[in-house]
Chain A
Amino acid sequence: MLNKNSIFAANNCTREFGTGKKIVRAVDNTTFSIESGEIVSIVGGSGCGKSVLAKMMLGLYKPTDGTLLYNNAPVTNTKIHWREVQAVFQDPFSCFNQFFTIRSQLKDAFGILQEKPSHKEIEKRIDNALLAVNIKPHEISGKYPFELSGGQMQRMLLARIFILRPKVLIADEPTSMVDACVRANILDYLMKLKEELKMTIVFVTHDIGLAYYVSDRLFIMHNGRIVEQGTPDEVTLSPRSEHTVRLLEDIPEIHRAWIC
């Protein structure tokens, strides 16, 4: 099943933490591939290993067993890796420095690019990115991270992605703190960007509504393992794993009784 042109190819990829009796196998023997231009969502309960898997794709953790290849090679130099692969992390507050204004930190994001755009282009890109996340640029001018709401902070992380325009985006719970309208707007913009850049996107989420709507394929994770892979309709219409069934049952839906 491993395709030569895969962006990511994992073969029995495993990641353990700790030693001896206290060993935790956060990611357990996963085998999968993600093709260029694909949108894949990794869905599962808390602690099932989603974020660890995402961090391996970013080169922040190395597999302790098996392999994880990016464009047919293991990630060795993260600095180069991050020119192409960018992330939105789960906790927006820990991602920005509390002592610098938000706009200056958005500007700093250009630092990782090999070719820096002109000063004017930078300002323009920042303004457009802010509008794409429903924030008026003047509204954050001079502001520090603690002066924004949770959802506004989360949108700053997305704005950073819209500024950097990476080839691959790994987004860990990117819209968990924003309302439905803003989420729709962000997705619109992200899909446009995806078309333009032929971006590959990996969403890590427990928002199954989001995963179902945007993805080409879903991976369902449980206890470090990928217990099911398939298209959104395959997975939701005819789930094969008991873990998928439970996950689907527990989603609150407006047309279905939930807690009896």
Chain B
Amino acid sequence: MTLFEVEQLSLHYLTRFGEKIHAVTDVSFTMKKGEILGIAGESGCGKSTLVNGLMGLFIPPLYPTDGIVKVAGESLMNRTPEDIRKNVLSRKVSMIPQGAFNALNPTRKIKDIAADVIAAHMKDIDRKAIHTRLRERFDLFGMNTEKVLNSYPIQLTAGERQRSVIGISTLLNPRMVIADEPTSALDVSTQKIVIKMIFNLLEKEIFSTMIFITHELPLLRHVADTIAIMYAGEFVELGTAEQIIFDPRHPYTKALMGAMLSAEAGQKQKKPTAIEGAPPNLAKPITGCRFAERCPVAKPQCHHTKQNMRIIADRQVRCEYAQ
């Protein structure tokens, strides 16, 4: 069953100079129940912007340009921020922003932050019922429930804080959870604990699908079922985790995989590939392939022929010369 549908979504920022920055262009994908989609790409390519669009939450200077986002058949487009906050966020789509675990309200205990989320969405529930619910839910997270619920954020380790953030974001059993670099500030051992918790919640159907954004490709290999690679606002390749990591076809995906660093013994001599230059200016119309300027195998025509997604080797690739 298709749970999440995105069709040709484009988004832009309207700057103070009246300039439109086309941060996301023509993104389409669908997700099924139980699926984790990983998104990786150039830093600044539009991942965090896309995430806001996927919630239907448009707060100036961000605006939708075109396209549709649907959760379980319901469109999130053309709705007011109040409507989205009240009826969509936390219940249907939940988002864990970049750096969220450092942004918990320092003056409130975890149990109060969590209770507010429940109280805001369920009118006739009393304090006691809320706390019973909280305990039951936090018992699933493999932490000392009482200690965590009764602590202020700064009294907790980074791992406990991030697990609390994920726990609070999923209290109302949203269908979709979008996590923006949820583990990149954590050390490897803490990261592993957090990922185990995410798998456990997915298995227990506390949420149904997840979008996981990270720069760490080896992590995506273990976490994601499918991976989308983004460059300059577009998806350039979309396939299974195996396909993208071990058999990339788009020149940018190839460059990215070649730049992976690994502490696997004996790999020290392997030099990661760097690509010089910078992505194109998104405030100007772009006619050709967006990667052409930096592509090691670009042909003259690439600079002025727009590239569309096409199927190559069972996955989508935005390059007509990819094989």
Contacts and interface: CB of A to CB of B under 8 A. Distances in A.
B273 interface: yes
Interface residues on B, range: 35 or more
Interface string B150-179: 000000011100000000000000000000
B98 interface: yes
B263 A208 contact: yes
Contacts of B159: 46
Contact of A155 (B43, B262, B273, B279): B43
A151 B41 CA distance: 11
B272 A213 contact: yes
Contacts of A131: 278
A250 B193 CA distance: 10
Contacts of B48: 149-150
B187 A182 contact: no
Most buried by A among B44, B48, B215, B218: B44
B260 A180 contact: yes
Interface in A230-260: 232-233, 236-237, 246-248, 250-255, 258-259
Contacts of A178: 43, 215
B274 A149 contact: no
B44 A152 contact: yes
A183 B277 CA distance: 13
Nearest to B186: A46
Nearest to A207: B261
Contacts of A211: 263
B274 A177 contact: no
Interface stretch (A19-27, A52-60, A132-140): A132-140
B263 A151 contact: no
B268 A179 contact: no
Given A258-B192, A259-B195, A184 B274 contact: yes
Which of B13, B98, B188, B277 neighbours the largest number of chain A CB atoms within 10 Å of its CB?
Answer: B188
A142 interface: yes
Contacts of A147: 13, 15
Contact of B219 (A45, A135, A252): A252
Contact of A236 (B15, B157, B259, B263): B263
B221 A252 contact: yes
A46 B277 contact: no
A253 B217 CA distance: 9
Nearest to A151: B43
Q: Is the interface of A mostly helix, strand, loop or mixed?
A: helix
Contacts of A139: 278, 281
A178 B217 CA distance: 12
A69 interface: no
Contact of B218 (A173, A182, A185, A252): A252
A211 B268 CA distance: 10
B196 A259 contact: yes
B66 interface: no
A18 interface: no
Name, among A142, A184, A185, the residue most crowded by chain B CB atoms within 10 Å (CB to CB): A184
B272 A177 contact: no
6 interchain residue pairs of minimum CB distance: A151-B43, A209-B261, A180-B259, A184-B274, A185-B274, A184-B272
11 contacts: A46-B190, A150-B48, A150-B99, A151-B44, A179-B215, A181-B42, A181-B256, A182-B43, A213-B272, A236-B263, A253-B264
Interface of B: 13, 15, 17, 40-44, 48, 98-99, 157-159, 181, 184-192, 195-196, 199, 215-219, 221-222, 245-246, 255-257, 259-268, 272-279, 281
Given A46-B158, A46-B186, A254-B262, 18 more contacts: A46-B159, A142-B17, A150-B48, A177-B184, A177-B215, A179-B256, A180-B215, A180-B261, A181-B274, A184-B273, A207-B261, A213-B261, A213-B272, A237-B265, A250-B188, A251-B263, A254-B260, A259-B222
